């Protein structure tokens, strides 16, 4: 469940709460309050990454270590390798394909969460969680960007050139802002175009009326000359 580590700098010092290396001190120990606070922080990272149904199964466990171990036993099975391969394959092939941006992003997030739940949570992964989290985050961003419709080619390049790099949520927000700006500009452009059409019709009407008046005046003048 590498995706639970949203802050790489914070995670670097919290692995002990998952492995049990950071022991719970006695109540009289001056570090007891700090341990309780940090344990709750790591627990929240784990719980917040779960769907509401999964939360009910693990939220009552008192420590981050117990949650980590329970999730490991529940979701890790060597026979899941085929399923994990299929999920990875699907994540690489999923495309926006004309759907709304939010629908595409929601489906992709659901895939990533399922992959996280089925990923082996062995202790050696915990030790390298910071580096692995960074690599997985960039991979998820690349998958998200590659599946966007061609309308977003320019914004895709802008995100890839960002330094520091954007995570998945920030990338989605960036694309969403661009979409909203396009929709706003499209609405504002439609008003002048409509106004211009009305103005053009008005000018045509005035010009047509003027021509009719000139034709009437010309016929009247010719008639008067015949009388003379």
pLDDT tens for each residue of 10-41: 455 677 888 888 888 998 899 999 999 998 98
Q: Dihedral through CA 11, CA 15, CA 18, CA 20, nearest 10? A: -150
Long-range contacts of 165-170 (CB under 8 A, 24+ apart): 165/138, 165/141, 166/141, 167/137, 167/141, 168/109, 168/112, 168/137, 168/140, 168/141, 168/144
Cα angle 46, 96, 188 (rounded to 5 degrees) comes to 105
Strands (E), the chain: none
- Higher-confidence residue of 79 and 176: namely 176
Q: How far is CA 145 from the centre of its chain?
A: 10
- Higher-confidence residue of 130 and 42: namely 42
pLDDT digits (tens, 9 = 90+) for 95-104: 999 999 999 9
Answer yes or no: is pLDDT of 228 > 90.
no
Can you give the pLDDT at residue 9?
A: 37
The pLDDT-based confidence of 7 (bands split at 50, 70, 90) is: very low
Answer yes or no: is pLDDT of 222 > 80.
no
User: What does pLDDT average to over the chain?
Assistant: 75
> Nearest CA to 144 among 118, 166, 161?
166
Report which listed range, 6-20, 76-90, 163-177, 183-197, is most confident: 163-177
Does this model's pTM top 0.85? My answer is no
Q: Is the N-terminal amide bond of 111 cis, ω within 30° of 0?
A: no
């Amino acid at each position: 469940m590498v995706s639970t580590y949203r802050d790489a700098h914070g995670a670097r010092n919290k692995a002990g709460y998952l492995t049990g290396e950071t022991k719970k001190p006695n109540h009289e120990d001056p570090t007891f309050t700090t341990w309780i606070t940090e344990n709750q922080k790591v627990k929240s990272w784990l719980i917040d990454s779960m769907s509401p149904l999964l939360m009910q199964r693990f939220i009552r466990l008192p420590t981050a270590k117990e949650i980590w171990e329970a999730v490991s036993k529940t979701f890790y099975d060597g026979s899941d390798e085929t399923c994990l391969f299929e999920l990875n394959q699907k994540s690489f092939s999923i495309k926006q394909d004309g759907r709304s941006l939010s629908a595409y992003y929601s489906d992709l997030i659901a895939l990533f969460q399922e992959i996280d739940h089925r990923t082996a949570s062995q202790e050696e992964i915990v030790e390298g969680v910071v580096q692995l989290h960074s690599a997985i985050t960039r991979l998820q961003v690349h998958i998200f960007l590659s599946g966007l419709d061609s309308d977003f080619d320019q914004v895709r390049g802008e995100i890839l050139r960002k330094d520091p790099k954007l995570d998945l949520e920030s990338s989605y927000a960036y694309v969403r802002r661009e979409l909203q700006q396009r929709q706003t500009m499209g609405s504002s452009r439609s008003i002048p175009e409509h106004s211009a059409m009305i103005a053009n019709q008005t000018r045509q009407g005035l010009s047509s009326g003027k021509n009719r008046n000139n034709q009437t005046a010309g016929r009247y003048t010719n008639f008067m000359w015949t009388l003379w």
